[in-house]
Structures are given as C-alpha cells and as structure tokens.
Structure 1
Amino acid sequence: MQPEDSKPPEFPIPSPNFRAPTQRPTPAASIPVDVRPNQSLILSPVPQPQRVSVVSPPYHFQVPSKRIRSPDDLRHFHDSDSGRNFIGFIVALSESTRGRKISDPCYASDTVNSIVSILDTLIQWIDDIPPARMASRYGNLSYRTWHARMVENSDSLMLRFLPEDLHSATVEIVPYFTDSFGNSTRIDYGTGHETQFAAWLYCLAKLGIIKEEDYPAVVVRVFVKYLELMRKLQLVYCLEPAGSHGVWGLDDYHFLSFVFGSSQLIDHKYLKPKSIHSQDILDSFSNDYLYFSCISFIKKVKKGPFSEHSPLLDDISGVPTWNKVNSGLLKMYKVEVLEKVPIMQHFLFGWLIKWN
C-alpha cells in the first residue's frame, strides 16, 4: 500500500523538463518515470480573480520591453501587483463564462464588436495571401507576408476602437498585439503568444476600454474568434509549435481555451470530463463549448489513438468534475506557462504592466 504522501494527484501534470521522444509515444497507461507529478503544481494554491484597476491621466505610455531573464526575475513578477493582477484578470475571465454557451445571447459593447471585426480582417488576409508551394512540413514562408501586413497595419487597427484621448496608447499596446499571432522569424506559435494576447486584453482593461460587464463577451466572442484565426493560421501556414512539450504537453499551441472551456461546463448536468470520448457529444457540442471544440480539433489534426497522442488530456478526462478540471488547469497555467523562463522571457512590461 502506498504511503499517503505518494498518492497520485487528482490532476495529472508532466515534468516541465520532459521532451517527447521522436519515436512512437507510449500509451498514457505506461507514462515513463520522467513524467512524475510536479510538486509545485500540487502545492500551489488555485489563483483567485482580481479586479483590474483602471489608469487615469496623466498617461505615461511607453514602448514595452522584455525584463525577465532568470527565475529570480520570474519570482519578482509573480510577487508584484502586476503579476497577481494579471493572473487574477485571467481567472475573472474564466469565471465570467461559467455555465455560458458560445451560442447564448451575450452583451457585446462597441469595443468588443470592433475587436471581433479586427480579427475577422486578419482572417480575411489569410485568404488574400495563399500559402507558398513548399516541400517542408512546417513553416510556410507566406506567413511572413501575412505577419508583415498585420504589423504594418497594427496602429490603424487599434485606432478603430481607441477613443481619441487614448490614441497615444498605441505605442504600448501594439507590441502585445503584434506578438499575439506567432513569430515571423521562426514561423511558430505557442502558449507564450497566447499569453501576449491575454496581456493585450488586460491592457485594454487597464485603459477602461474593456469593462467587467464585457468579460463574458471577451471570452465567447473575442477569444473564440481569436482561436478561429489561430487555427486557420496554423493549418494554412503550418506554424510550428513553439516550445511544445511534445506528446506530454496539454496541447501543441493553446492553453487558455481549455481553461475557459472547462469553466463553461462547471455544474453541467450531463456533460462530464469523460464525455470527450464520445464522438456524438463532440459533434453536438463543439460549437457551444470551447473545451469540446479543442478536443474535436485535436482529433481531426492528429492521427492514432487519443490516449497516445494526447495522454495528458486523456488523463484529465478521468477527473470527476469540471470544477476540479478548471482549478487544476488554472494552477497548471500558472506553473507551466507563467512560471517558465523560456516562455516568459518574451513577456513585455511598460507603464500599463509595470515591472517595478
């Protein structure tokens, strides 16, 4: 019989240093020794929601810069008001969509509608810039053309919704925006870029442009549209996963979609974490729930048994409730994304997200 402190956690997590082998992965039932539960995840508290304090004049917008270079820098960030408030904002977004379907009626402000329109514009540009004919599996060079157009037009895109007295904020918020859609040099995308998109939304909340009443629409309208854009970029231009943990990661590209998606399903009478194994449920509910949408997309783009190409998601399906899935994913996002130097070394700090 195992001693009490050696029992496996209710929410599985791989070793952050583990890289998937190049050969065919082993089934989840025989996870290798290197994939032991991460103690920092088990012991860390579940992040709590926080209100975002809105800045007021005089404004001191500045070009944001990278400041994280070491684990000490990371600890400084997470101990700071900015660090706590940023993760609190993400938790607040997650809670705002609890029990809410994508298709449910939802209040959408002019700002939210403008952001959705901007993302639609970026989707249209993919159609305007077809992929180049290439033999390589990843990294279609036409993505650089798309990315360059996005960067070139980013200021004017921000002016679609920024009030006149905040036009000067473009110098600070544009770098977060342009880093939200992947890296044009490496032609890759990952959870760090997704986090920059969350940081861009957080900056808009700091500016008072996004308000708390907008949070549900930010998830089920803005983030859903962002996910649509990123999937199209990934498929059309074959973006390489950035910093992937391979088969033992949660997903090749995304994380927050699973956080928000699990919150949608909390206390659902019939749909459970194990429901991801029913193709009928995925077909029926993928348009309403982000979590099922992500699982369905993974099953379409990856070959072989789900337990082999996505063992961590397969293990999570055994967690008894969506509430535990959501709290576990929030902890995992903090530990596996926000507390990883290779990811957060690219995070930006300015006047809105302060380093001090």
Structure 2
Amino acid sequence: MESHDHQHSPKSPQTPSPPTATAATTTDATCRKCGSPTTFTPPQPWSEVSPPPTYRPIRSPAINLPPNNHSQQAIILAPVPKSQKVPLVSPPYHFLLPTKRILSPDDIRRFLDSDAAKNFLGFIVALSESIRSHKISDPCHLSPTIDSIVSITETLIRWIDEIPPLQQASRYGNLSYRTWHDRLAETSESLMLSFLPDDLQSATVEIVPYFADSFGNSSRIDYGTGHETNFAAWLYCLARLGLIKEEDYQAVVARVFVKYLELMRKLQLVYCLEPAGSHGVWGLDDYHFLPFIFGSSQLIDHKYIKPKSIHNQDILDNFSNEYLYLECIAFVKKVKKGLFAEHSPLLDDITVVHTWNKVNSGLLKMYKVEVLEKVPIMQHFLFGSLIKWE
C-alpha cells in the first residue's frame, strides 16, 4: 500500500447544532487528498448551558449568562402586577436620610411582601397605563412640577456639552463623567429646592439621594437598571408628596421619562458608561428596562405596528420618535453590531408574541422578577420614610 506523506484532513460533517449528545463519537470518513479510509472525531459539542459564542457584544458585559430556567418559570407563573393609587404623606413630616437595607434573598422577599413594594410597582403599572395607545407627541397635562423636572433634565444634558470627554486610551469609562457627576452631587439639593414648596423644603434630605443615584455610579463609571429604578423611585417619592398627581402621569412618561432617556443615551455615548450588571446578549437591554414597558403600552391596539414590525427598518425610521419601544430597538441596532437575533435574542423572541398587550404584561412580570427580585440590583435601593423598610 502506498504510504502517505501528508496529514489526513478528512471530510468532516457540518458543525453540529446545539446538541443533546454529551460525548464525541468516532465516525468513518475519507481523506480529502488521497481518498483512503480514515476516522473522524467530531469536535466536543456545545453544552446547552453554554451556547456557542456566535456574537461578541460591542460592549463588554459584566455578566453573560444564559437565561435561568428558574427565573423564566417565575416570570411565567407570576401574576401581572396591578396599578395602585400612590398613598400621600401628610404633615407632620418626618423625613429621613434613606439607607440601603437589602443584603440577601430573604431581604428581597421581605421587601416584595411589603406595602412599599406593592405601591411602588403599582406606580410603575399606573405610569404604563397612562401612556397606553398614546404617542409621545400627544397633548398632555403639564403641571409646574413637570415643567421644572424637564427643565432640570435639560440642564443636566447641557452640562455634558460643557464637560467634553477626555482623550484616553481605555475604551470605556471616560473620566470626565466623574466631573459631570460631581457637579450633579454639588447642585442636587438646589435643583430640588427650585420646585419644592416651602412646607416641603425639608424633604431634600430624603429625595436628593434617590435623584443623585439615578444617573449612574461615578466610581465605577457605569449605569444600569438599578439606577433607572432609583429614578422611578424619585418620581414615586414626588408622587407621595403630592407634587406629581395622577393627571400628570402621561406627562411623566411622555415628557419627563423621554427627556431622562435622552440624557442617559447621551451620557452613555459621550462618556462610554459601562453597563452595570448587564446580562449581555441574554438581557433585554444593556442599560434600560422601563422604556420597553412604557413603549409596549403605547403600541397596544395600534392598527399597523405589531411586535414583529421591529424588523421593518422603515417603521423604525419613521416612528421611533413617537414610540419608546421602537426608539429602544433603533438604539440597540445602532450600538450593537451583527445579527439582531444573535446580539438581542430576547428582544427577537418577543417579536413572535401576537399582541402588544401580552408583551406589556409579560414585561411587567419580568421587571418584577429580573429587577426588583435581584439582590445585585436591589442591594443599592434606598429606604426612608417615603419608601419604608417594613
């Protein structure tokens, strides 16, 4: 028999799809060069727990784990949160410096069983319902408080232009963000006093910490859903003080939250904020959750735009300025490279849901399980007299 002076490079079967087998098996094959019989050992298949790295995120996520089956089951079984009226506080006031209280899963359960948690989540649901079937540009009630908050947010946006990013080698975490955040910390109290009535001036001790922690962490130079939740908690505190009323809720989403999202997008892009505790490709988004809830509510009963419509670039181009959900999708596609189904599989999965009503209720349940029930996020949440630790 003729001897071989080359290494075999057998005809190999195509790379196996994510498998059920757990061990490689040997199969017959033939040498590509000489046609003689040889053997082929397929590569070790990818386990179901760790799928193949088909996509490398443009941002380096802090956590990149596949969905947890327990979390998925919890979301499916959880009841849809209901809206609740915000209980107002009345004098005499006893405002407190809010502190962190959550350290363990037991603390999470204690919080979620409390009236404070039910009322806070009920406030989120009420905001979602207030924007149902409304475009961003639709007319809404604008109170002096809403105007003041929008003006404050525009000031924070203007500071970014006044504090340009430093030229530095590292890709993430521009140090100029700390300068921006220092200015925020120095002026937060005066910003609050600009719209608080005289009898509520003492509330700054409690509401300033929520506000100051709504725009990211200055030492880590990151931002995530925990900071976004603090912003929602700050708005909830203003509602408890009676400064934000139910007739303001549509404007809270369409004016205040839209402006907040504009600020956070600019901070993320200019100062390259890291995602705080991101789930990478397995999460909804690297930074935000609430705009998906509010945005899906906006699209309920829309005559033409369906969940699958996010794959239509014309729809994104023409309607993302009116619908938060579409704006979020457009932003994800802007900052992440590669196939949408690979870098955002969860958002892609949502497109098979038939109605926005189901998308909205599913996201509300998911927010409770994936944000409010997670110790790494909620360990930074604050408790005082307006959001009590019970």
TM-based fold match above 0.5: yes
Q: Who is 1:130 aligned against? A: 164
Conserved in 2, the CA contact under 8 Å of 1:19 and 1:245? no
Could you tell which deviates more after superposition, 34-43 or 52-61? 34-43
Q: CA deviation at 1:141?
A: 0.3
The equivalent position to 2:283 in structure 1, one of 249, 252, 264, is 249
Q: CA deviation at 1:159?
A: 1.0
What SS does structure 2 have at the residue aligned with 1:153?
helix
**4+ residue segments displaced more than 6 Å:** 18-22
CA deviations on 1:179-202 (whole Å, 9 max, x unpaired) are 000000000000000000000000
The equivalent position to 2:55 in structure 1, one of 25, 28, 51, is 25
Q: Could you tell me how far apart the structure 1 residues matched to 2:81 and 2:168 are?
A: 44
Q: Could you tell me how far apart the structure 2 residues matched to 1:34 and 1:285 are?
A: 31
Counterpart of 1:306, as a letter, is F
Conserved in 2, the CA contact under 8 Å of 1:20 and 1:248? no
Q: Could you tell me how far apart the structure 2 residues matched to 1:221 and 1:113 are?
A: 9
Q: Could you tell me how far apart the structure 1 residues matched to 2:53 and 2:223 are?
A: 23
Q: Could you tell me how far apart the structure 1 residues matched to 2:67 and 2:144 are?
A: 49
1:221 aligns with 2:252: no
Q: Who is 2:141 aligned against? A: 107
Q: Who is 1:294 aligned against? A: 328
Conserved in 2, the CA contact under 8 Å of 1:93 and 1:260? yes
Larger CA Rg, structure 1 vs 2:
2
Q: Given the superposition, is the C-alpha separation of residues 221 and 68 from structure 1 closer, same or farther in structure 2, using an over 3 Å criterion?
A: same
Structure 2 residues not aligned, in runs of 5+: 1-47, 57-64
What SS does structure 1 have at the residue aligned with 2:90?
coil
1:343-354 alignment, distance < 5 Å: 343-354=377-388
Could you tell which deviates more after superposition, 208-217 or 38-47? 38-47
Conserved in 2, the CA contact under 8 Å of 1:19 and 1:246? no
The equivalent position to 2:188 in structure 1, one of 143, 146, 154, is 154
User: Normalized against structure 2, the TM-score is what?
Assistant: 0.83
Q: Who is 1:6 aligned against? A: none
Q: Given the superposition, is the C-alpha separation of residues 34 and 187 from structure 1 closer, same or farther in structure 2, using an over 3 Å criterion?
A: closer
Q: CA deviation at 1:160?
A: 1.4
Counterpart of 1:312, as a letter, is L
Q: Who is 1:11 aligned against? A: none
Q: Could you tell me how far apart the structure 2 residues matched to 1:234 and 1:339 are?
A: 25
Q: Could you tell me how far apart the structure 2 residues matched to 1:21 and 1:128 are?
A: 44
CA deviations on 1:65-124 (whole Å, 9 max, x unpaired) are 000011111111111110100000000000000001001111110100100000000000
CA deviations on 1:190-245 (whole Å, 9 max, x unpaired) are 00000000000000000000000000000000000000000000000000000000
Q: Could you tell me how far apart the structure 2 residues matched to 1:287 and 1:202 are?
A: 26
Which structure carries more helix by proportion? 1
Q: Could you tell me how far apart the structure 2 residues matched to 1:290 and 1:19 are?
A: 33
If asked which structure has higher relative contact order (CA below 8 Å, sep 6+), I would say 1
Q: Who is 1:10 aligned against? A: none
The equivalent position to 1:200 in structure 2, one of 214, 234, 237, is 234
The equivalent position to 1:41 in structure 2, one of 75, 94, 98, is 75
Conserved in 1, the CA contact under 8 Å of 2:181 and 2:218? yes
Q: Who is 1:308 aligned against? A: 342
The equivalent position to 2:353 in structure 1, one of 302, 307, 319, is 319
What SS does structure 1 have at the residue aligned with 2:338?
coil
CA deviations on 1:37-91 (whole Å, 9 max, x unpaired) are 7111111100000000110000000100000011111111111110100000000
User: Normalized against structure 1, the TM-score is what?
Assistant: 0.91
Q: Given the superposition, is the C-alpha separation of residues 162 and 306 from structure 1 closer, same or farther in structure 2, using an over 3 Å criterion?
A: same
The equivalent position to 1:332 in structure 2, one of 344, 349, 366, is 366
Q: CA deviation at 1:24?
A: 3.5
Conserved in 2, the CA contact under 8 Å of 1:47 and 1:88? yes
CA deviations on 1:242-284 (whole Å, 9 max, x unpaired) are 0000111000000000000000000111110000000000011
1:209 aligns with 2:243: yes
Q: Who is 2:213 aligned against? A: 179
1:45-56 alignment, distance < 5 Å: 45-56=79-90
Counterpart of 2:309, as a letter, is S
What SS does structure 2 have at the residue aligned with 1:38?
helix
Structure 1 residues not aligned, in runs of 5+: 1-17, 27-31
Q: CA deviation at 1:25?
A: 3.1
Q: Could you tell me how far apart the structure 2 residues matched to 1:130 and 1:78 are?
A: 41
Counterpart of 2:298, as a letter, is Q
Q: Who is 2:152 aligned against? A: 118
Counterpart of 1:149, as a letter, is R
Q: Who is 1:240 aligned against? A: 274
1:276 aligns with 2:307: no
Instruction: Give the number of equivalent residue pairs.
Output: 334
- The Cα RMSD (Å) is 1.7
The equivalent position to 1:163 in structure 2, one of 197, 206, 211, is 197
Q: Could you tell me how far apart the structure 1 residues matched to 2:215 and 2:87 are?
A: 27
Conserved in 2, the CA contact under 8 Å of 1:20 and 1:246? no
Counterpart of 2:131, as a letter, is T
